[in-house]
Amino acid sequence: MSAPKLSPVPSSQPERLHIFDTTLRDGEQAPGFSMTAPEKLEMAHLLANLRVDTMEAGFAAASPGDTEAIRLIAREVRGPTICSLARATEKDIDAAAYALEPAQRSRLHVFIATSPIHREAKLRLSRREVIQTIERCLKHAAGRFDEIEFSAEDALRTEPEFLVEALSCAAQNGADVLNVPDTVGYSEPDEIYRVFADLVEKVERPDHVIFSAHCHNDLGLAVANSLAAVKAGARQVECAINGIGERAGNCSLEEVVMALQVRADIFPAVSHADATQIWAASQRLSRMTGTAVAPNKAIVGKNAFAHEAGIHQHGMIADRRTYEIMTPESVGVPGSSLVLGKHSGKHALSQRLAKLGYQPDPDRLNEIFAQFKAAADLHGEINDADLVAMMEGYSASG
């Protein structure tokens, strides 16, 4: 409890962007992504390898199983701050405190909805009652966690002046992180930028308090919105491996981390995540939950570093920077692949044949190239065994 608050950085350094991973909470909440406690622990170790700043290990009050999974992670995993979600009730906060007891560093993530539709239809609370609830629950949490994060659920559909009031109230009652969720993925980047810029200007808070973005992907804008929030002053982004989360998911961790790294020239803050651990975490999550990653998914899809078109392959052979803005190794993918198919050219074919130990003369190469195109038209991708079969003059197994 005596540990320092989120540390400000010297002004000559780029500011730190905190990566808050919610794979094990918001991610796990999505249909089909439920994990057992040992599975959550295994993922938590992979997230620690990735050096996320905070991992939300679950929602302690949701079930006894989730309480135990959080406790297990809090006991076993070192490095990141371990966090539990809680509604703004004494009972939920107590459950989070119990689950986080063994943590080296703990964070409570307490939330209440602030938008009119949630206040009226779901909570049946007036604005005043919402403010009173924030005060009451933060007082109840005070001194029991190393850090406290407050979320104004459905913030982006909340009246701007009420959002300022709710967040100011949270900051003045002990919240260290003010999270501004786009709960239903309704916003677009310009709007998010304006909202965050306004909050940075107007919310009354102690100096160490930071703003956080939690963007859902209902319109496919979660990553773009999170990056816009960073430009406007957010210093924490909430995200999940493979972008999993409620409905269309959360901001994808791999995309936001790599956007910040590849385009460090335009962002005011840097993450300290170890991106080389991304692929291992993505693959493990996909196998554990039985949900394949789409081949064209940025960063971690099977095609993210695969090239089939002849022109692209020619460029890649000359200099991979022609068609790759990051190396596969930088995200832990073993290497790029030049996939041989009907769009591939002679250049790539002869390079692959050389790798397989063949150096046909130009006439033989022309012959093989014609055979290769005909086979690719029929079968799609041509693998090494097919090429050996062509060179040796026998039929390929497939």
Summarize as ranges the residues that interact with ligand KIV (CB under 6 A).
26, 85, 111, 151, 153, 179, 181, 183, 214, 216
The H or E element that residue 37 is part of is helix 37-49
Nearer to ligand KIV, 214 or 307 (CB): 214
* 196, interface contact from ligand KIV, Zn ion, none, CB < 5-8 Å by kind: none
Of Zn ion, ligand KIV, none, which one does residue 111 interact with (CB within 5 to 8 Å by kind)?
A: ligand KIV
SS3 380: coil
Binding mask 4-43 for Zn ion (x = CB under 5 A): ----------------------x-----------------
Closer residue to Zn ion in complex, CB, 26/255: 26
Q: What is the DSSP string of 317-347?
A: HH-GGGT-SS-GGGGT----EE--STT--HH
Contact criterion met (CB below 8 Å) for 53 and 20: yes
Q: Report helix, strand or coil for 158.
A: coil
* Residue 33 touches which member of Zn ion, ligand KIV, none, C-beta under 5-8 Å by kind: none
Number of residues that bind Zn ion (CB under 5 A): 1
Smallest gap from Cβ 110 to ligand KIV, in A, equals 9
Query: 3-class DSSP state for residue 187?
Result: coil
Instruction: List strand residue ranges (DSSP E) for the chain, in order.
Output: 15-16, 18-21, 54-59, 81-87, 106-113, 147-153, 177-182, 210-215, 236-239, 269-270, 306-307, 337-338
Residue count (the chain): 398
**372 contacts which partner out of ligand KIV, Zn ion, none, CB within 5 to 8 A by kind?**
none
Residue 56 in the binding site for Zn ion (CB under 5 A): no
How far apart are CB 326 and ligand KIV at their closest, in Å?
29
Taking the complex as a whole, the smallest distance from the CB of residue 23 to ligand KIV amounts, in Å, to 13
Q: Which CB, 228 or 331, lies closer to ligand KIV?
A: 228
- For the bound state, the minimum distance from the C-beta of residue 238 to ligand KIV, rounded and expressed in Å, comes to 7
Query: Could you tell me the smallest distance in angstroms from the CB atom of residue 11 to ligand KIV?
Result: 30
Q: How far is the CB of 216 from Zn ion (least distance, A)?
A: 6
What interhelical angle do 222-232 and 189-202 show, nearest 10? 30
Instruction: Quote the crossing angle between the two packed helices 222-232 and 253-262, to the nearest 10°.
Output: 50
Cα separation of 113 and 87, whole Å? 10
Which residues make up the interface to Zn ion (CB under 5 A)?
Answer: 26
